[in-house]
Amino acid sequence: MQSAVVYTGLENGSEAGRDLGTKIRETLVDTPDAVIIFASPKYDHRALLQGLADACHPKVMVGASSAGEFTRDVQGEGMACALAFKGADARFAASVGRDLQRDAVAAARQIASGFAGHADHPYGYRSALVMADALAGHAEALVDELTVATAGQYQFFGGGAGDNAQFQHTVVFCGTEVFSDAAVALEILSEKPIGIGVSHGWQPASEAFRVTEAEGKRLISLNGFPAVEAFQQHAGATGQTIDTASPIPFFLHNILVLLCHKLCVAAGTSWEPSHESADEFSPDGGDRLGDVAFGADG
């Protein structure tokens, strides 16, 4: 199996697509069997996909809008990147399921109906990359029903489309078409098993803080002071900014990790500025609710 990993920072959608396609052809020296593409929401995605298709004529193409793009050589925002495959030891097919928000079960069945593995038995291993419009929700129900529809014979992996933390419009791609409220899948039938690995890539970025007040999943104070002050201090020390009215962009790159019994577990948390907690807790007093530390995406 041959592969090519390429990226482009060109601004125009058509030109960016042609740039990706040209680089793929130069690496594989042939038409790719499958292309997976991730593209910044700034692009005209239809123009991007058409430009790529015109340049390298992939047999199958899927992808999604993204929130930050990266390859082994570059990372950043406002780019497009693609992974292409060519080889006789695997077979690829693409399918799409629509109306995900209204009926995730039906969307999963639409996707599964496009799989060839039900009847194509020469390949011993079946996998599928699944990408969904994240704003449509119901991803868990989608994967559950895909497992049922394929009788548990496939291993599924993938994720949700992004839009640089704007949470307004996320899309997925199948061929040169762009879909919202949908999910796409790249079926991979192979002669050898495909290994799936998971790594979060986060690195410790601060000393530990003591959680001195919390209500459920809401974090109120750290070291006896309002939690927002710790966030602002960390932002200043690392050359970042945090908008307390819209903090999500900050937390996409800075997470809180719960430290417990020498294990680090990513903890999703919401927070609320509270100026009362500083009087109620001191850094060395009160009950020890747990320790947290900031993690930075590496």
Q: Is 267 helix (H, G, I), strand (E, B) or coil?
A: coil
Whole-number Å distance between alpha carbons of 194 and 156: 11
| pLDDT value at residue 282 | 32
For residue 184, tell me if it sits in a domain.
Answer: yes
Residue 196 within a domain: no
What residue type is assigned to position 8 of the chain? T
Query: Exposure of 186 by Cβ count < 10 A (0-12 exposed, 13-18 middle, 19+ buried)?
Result: buried
Predicted pLDDT at 293: 60
Verify that 169 and 271 share a domain, yes or no. no
Tell me, yes or no, whether 182 lies in a domain: yes
Q: What is the pTM of this model?
A: 0.75
Calpha distance 115→129 (Å, rounded):
12
Tell me, what's the pLDDT at 58?
Answer: 96
Same domain, 173 and 212: no
Residue 240's domain comprises 202-297
232 and 117 in a common domain: no
Q: Is there a domain that residue 219 lies in?
A: yes
How much is the pLDDT for 291?
Answer: 59
Domain-located, residue 195: no
**Do 6 and 144 have their domain in common?**
yes
Q: Quick one: CA dihedral 10, 166, 5, 156, positive or negative?
A: negative
**133 and 162 both lie in a single domain:** yes
| Same domain for 239 and 142 | no
Specify the amino acid at residue 66: S
Q: Is residue 128 part of a domain?
A: yes
Instruction: Judge whether 232 lies within some domain.
Output: yes
Taking the C-alpha atoms of residue 129 and residue 263, their distance in angstroms, rounded to an integer, is 30
Q: How many domains does the chain have?
A: 2
Which pLDDT value is given to residue 7? 94
Q: Domain end: 168, 190, 212, which one?
A: 190
User: Which pLDDT does position 286 carry in this prediction?
Assistant: 38
Handedness of CA 161, 164, 168, 169 (dihedral sign): negative
Say if residue 21 is in the same domain as residue 147.
yes
Same domain for 118 and 264, yes or no, is no
Q: Tell me, what's the pLDDT at 267? A: 35
3-class state of residue 245 by DSSP: coil
pLDDT at residue 219, rounded to an integer: 86
Judgement on whether residues 139 and 234 belong to the same structural domain of the protein: no
- Has residue 197 been placed in a domain? no
| Low-confidence residues in the chain, pLDDT < 50 | 261-288
Q: Given 133, 168, 190, which residue is the final one in a domain?
A: 190
Answer yes or no: do 134 and 247 share one domain: no
Regarding whether 146 and 13 lie in a shared domain, the answer is: yes
Which of 170, 190, 210 marks a domain boundary? 190
Are 1 and 86 spatial neighbours (Cβ–Cβ below 8 Å)? yes
Residues 140 and 111 in one domain: yes
Buried-exposed string 55-92: b where 16+ CB fall within 10 A, e elsewhere: bbebebbbbbbbbbbeeeeeeeeebbbbbbbbbeebbb
